[in-house]
C-alpha cells in the first residue's frame, strides 16, 4: 500500500513539474500587438496584430470575477473598452501594463453608489519573489481586479504592446 501511495505522489509531483516547466509557444519576435480582448468567463487574453489573432493566454482575474467592477475593493475585473495607458518594468508584480479604468461611466456609477471607483487595474505577472509559482497561478482567481499572467507571458506582452493599445474586456 505504501508503494502505491508513494507512486501516486511521485507521479503527481512529476506531472506538476512538467506542467509548470513545459515551454509554451512564444509570441513571434517583433510582433506588435495592436488590440487585446479579455474573455473573463473563459479566463483568456487574446492578443491581436493587424486583425489577426496571434496568441491566446490563460489568465487569472480578481477574487470576485463575475460582473463589472463597480467600486474600489469589490475584487472585480472591469468590463468594457479601455486602453493600455502605462507600462511599469518595476512593478511589485514583475512587470505590468496599466489599463485606463476608470472611465467617465465607471466614475459616475461608483459615485451613484456613494463609493470610489478604484483604479490601478493592470495586466501583470506574479508577485515579485514568487515567480516560481509559474503556471499554477492560473488555477484560481487571486488578484484584486487585475489580469494575471506568468512572468514570461507578461514579458512578451510588455515588449509587444504599446501605450495606447485598445483593450476590450468582455464578461
**Average pLDDT for residues 94-107, to the nearest whole number?**
96
What's the rounded Cα separation, in Å, for the pair 142 and 137? 8
What domain count does the chain have?
1
Range of the domain at 76: 2-170
pLDDT at res. 33: 98
Please give the share of the chain, as a percent, with pLDDT higher than 70: 91
DSSP-H helix ranges across the chain: 2-21, 104-112, 151-160
Q: Which residues of 25-45 are buried (b: 16+ CB within 10 A; e: fewer)?
A: eebeeebebbbbbbebeebeb
pLDDT at res. 7: 59
51: annotated active-site residue: no
**Longest CA span, the chain:** 63
| Active-site position among 51, 68, 94, 146 | 146
Instruction: State whether residue 118 is helix, strand or coil.
Output: coil
The CATH number given to whatever domain includes residue 140 is 2.40.440.10
124: annotated active-site residue: yes
- Reported as a single tens digit per residue, the pLDDT across 10-29 is 666 775 556 665 677 888 88
- 0.95 surpassed by pTM: no
| Active-site position among 51, 68, 94, 124 | 124
pLDDT at res. 142: 94
What's the rounded Cα separation, in Å, for the pair 160 and 104? 28
Amino acid at each position: 500500500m505504501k508503494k502505491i501511495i508513494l507512486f501516486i505522489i511521485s507521479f503527481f509531483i512529476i506531472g506538476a513539474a512538467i506542467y509548470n516547466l513545459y515551454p509554451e509557444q512564444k509570441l513571434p519576435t517583433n510582433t506588435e500587438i495592436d488590440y487585446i480582448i479579455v474573455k473573463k468567463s473563459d479566463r483568456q487574453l487574446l492578443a491581436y496584430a493587424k486583425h489577426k489573432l496571434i496568441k491566446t493566454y490563460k489568465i487569472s482575474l480578481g477574487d470576485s470575477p463575475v460582473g463589472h467592477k463597480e467600486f474600489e475593493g469589490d475584487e472585480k475585473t472591469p468590463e468594457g473598452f479601455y486602453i493600455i495607458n502605462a507600462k511599469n518594468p518595476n512593478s511589485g508584480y514583475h512587470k505590468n501594463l496599466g489599463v485606463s479604468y476608470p472611465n467617465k461611466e465607471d466614475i459616475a456609477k461608483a459615485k451613484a453608489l456613494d463609493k470610489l471607483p478604484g483604479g490601478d487595474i493592470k495586466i501583470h505577472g506574479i508577485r515579485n519573489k514568487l515567480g516560481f509559482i509559474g503556471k499554477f497561478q492560473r488555477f484560481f482567481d487571486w488578484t484584486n481586479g487585475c489580469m494575471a499572467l506568468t512572468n514570461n507571458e507578461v514579458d512578451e506582452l510588455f515588449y509587444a504592446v504599446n501605450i495606447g493599445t485598445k483593450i476590450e474586456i468582455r464578461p
